[in-house]
Amino acid sequence: MSSLERTLRDGTTMPAIGVGTFGSDRYSPAEVAKGVETALGIGYRLVDCAAVYGNEDLIGDVLASAIAGGLPREELFVMSKVWNDHHAPDRVRASVEKSLSHLRLDHLDACFIHWPFPNSHGRGAGVDDRDPHARPYNHADFMRTWAALEELVDEGLVRHAGLSNVTVPKLQRILPDCGIQPSLTEIEHHPTLQQGELFQHLVDHGIQVVGYSPLGSPSRPERDRTPDDLVDMDSPAVVEIAESRGVSRARVCVAWAINRGVVPIPFSVKEHQLRDLFEATRLRLTPEELHALRATDRNNRLIKGQVFLWEGAGSWLDLWDVDGTIPGWHGYGS
């Protein structure tokens, strides 16, 4: 694989690009697992998984076969996530142990709390559904969930603990209360949603940013689509750079993330696309190109999370606010 790596707070390294495994509603678990097998053959060594994706058992077969075939376990960086219905401390452990069993591993290189909102909705939930048990962010509850993940780090079942889908105001509350600081945070990240304040806050605190939907999530579920959504790969800056470089628009988007210091985790099951995206590690953008891409930011959130809204919530924008404990903050883009 490319020698380009990222160094985490403890000095260990992780690959600068990974492969996602959320197949949305378009691909079967078997197709996603086959995509991971293809990706490993190309040279990917970072695999981003999640319990809720429903495919960790088949991905585990692929990982076990690759390791048995001579791929050293220490070259792999396998990540998973605790879903929203496992926020209770004892359920955090159960989630991680189940993921380890399915993935056929004795430890996860990283584990994230998938969303900071407890509920039971998973794949297949409709945009208008409401889980009667869903709740907005509650700091005390969240920190109990985080403490349970810290215990698994202490035991060696998880090497690095991570946050996901958080905002600056949430981080301002979470980080001071952590016994173990997060090593990584997953955020939606693509040229039209750059989350500059959040990105800088994470960098300033030594937290590696992992960017999902680096292509602007063209295969995202219908529930997350609205008429105002923008298409990153149709952005004039992306088109111009791709044409001048003689590369795909997708490669430009992924290269932009890598050049920014983000670890992108694009999803594909097609070999030619996976090969193309992997080549993004070798594409160095000029300051002028980076400036042009920086100007494409439109606060264009595509993974809106409507299915996680609690009863009585106004809109998906409420997910990106806090629970009213930070007066005067009403934004959703950070």
In the predicted model, what is the mean pLDDT of residues 132-143?
A: 90
Q: Is the pLDDT of residue 326 over 80?
A: no
Residue of 324 and 180 predicted with greater confidence: 180
Question: To the nearest 10°, the Cα dihedral for 333, 297, 285, 237?
Answer: 160
Choice among 62-66, 138-142, 300-304, 318-322 with the minimum mean pLDDT: 318-322
pLDDT at position 317 is 85
Nearest to 197 by CA among 115, 139, 189: 189
Q: Is the pLDDT of residue 232 over 90?
A: yes
Cα–Cα distance measured from residue 115 to residue 305, given in angstroms and rounded to the nearest whole number: 9
Q: 14-44 pLDDT, tens per residue?
A: 999 999 999 877 899 999 999 999 999 999 9
pLDDT at position 313 is 83
User: pTM to 2 decimals?
Assistant: 0.93
Length of the chain: 334
Cβ neighbours for 111, distance < 8 A, ≥ 6 positions apart: 79, 80, 81, 82, 96, 99, 149, 152, 158, 160, 161, 162
Q: Is the pLDDT of residue 330 over 50?
A: no
In the predicted model, what is the mean pLDDT of residues 224-237?
A: 88
pLDDT at position 305 is 85
In the predicted model, what is the mean pLDDT of residues 72-77?
A: 98
pLDDT at position 120 is 73
- Token pair for residue 190? 């693509």
Residue of 2 and 185 predicted with greater confidence: 185
Tokens 């197949």 sit at which residue? Answer: 23
Consult the annotation and say whether 189 binds a ligand. Answer: no
In the predicted model, what is the mean pLDDT of residues 111-130?
A: 72
Q: Is the pLDDT of residue 322 over 70?
A: no
Sign of CA dihedral 199, 209, 166, 217: positive
Choice among 154-168, 243-257, 303-317 with the minimum mean pLDDT: 303-317
Q: Could you confirm whether 53 is annotated as catalytic? A: yes
Nearest to 164 by CA among 106, 217, 87: 87
Classify residue 16 as exposed, middle or buried by CB count within 10 Å of its CB (0-12, 13-18, 19+): buried
pLDDT at position 22 is 94
In the predicted model, what is the mean pLDDT of residues 209-226?
A: 85
pLDDT > 90 in the chain, percent: 77
- Token pair for residue 36? 């991971």
Catalytic residue among 44, 53, 137, 212: 53
- Token pair for residue 234? 């149709």
Cα–Cα distance measured from residue 177 to residue 158, given in angstroms and rounded to the nearest whole number: 20
- Token pair for residue 324? 């009213």
- Token pair for residue 95? 């989630």
Strands 13-15 and 5-7, sheet pairing: antiparallel
Phi, psi of 181 (to 5 degrees): -70, 145
pLDDT at position 206 is 98
Local confidence band at 287 (pLDDT 50, 70, 90 cut-offs): very high
Q: Is the pLDDT of residue 123 over 60?
A: no
pLDDT at position 264 is 98
Local confidence band at 122 (pLDDT 50, 70, 90 cut-offs): low
Across all residues in the chain, what is the average pLDDT? Answer: 90
Nearest to 152 by CA among 207, 87, 89: 89
- Token pair for residue 318? 């409420």
pLDDT at position 334 is 30
Cα–Cα distance measured from residue 187 to residue 184, given in angstroms and rounded to the nearest whole number: 10
Cα–Cα distance measured from residue 245 to residue 177, given in angstroms and rounded to the nearest whole number: 46
pLDDT at position 327 is 34
DSSP H or E segment with residue 222: none
Domain 13-221+262-270+303-320 has CATH 3.20.20.100: yes
pLDDT at position 3 is 52
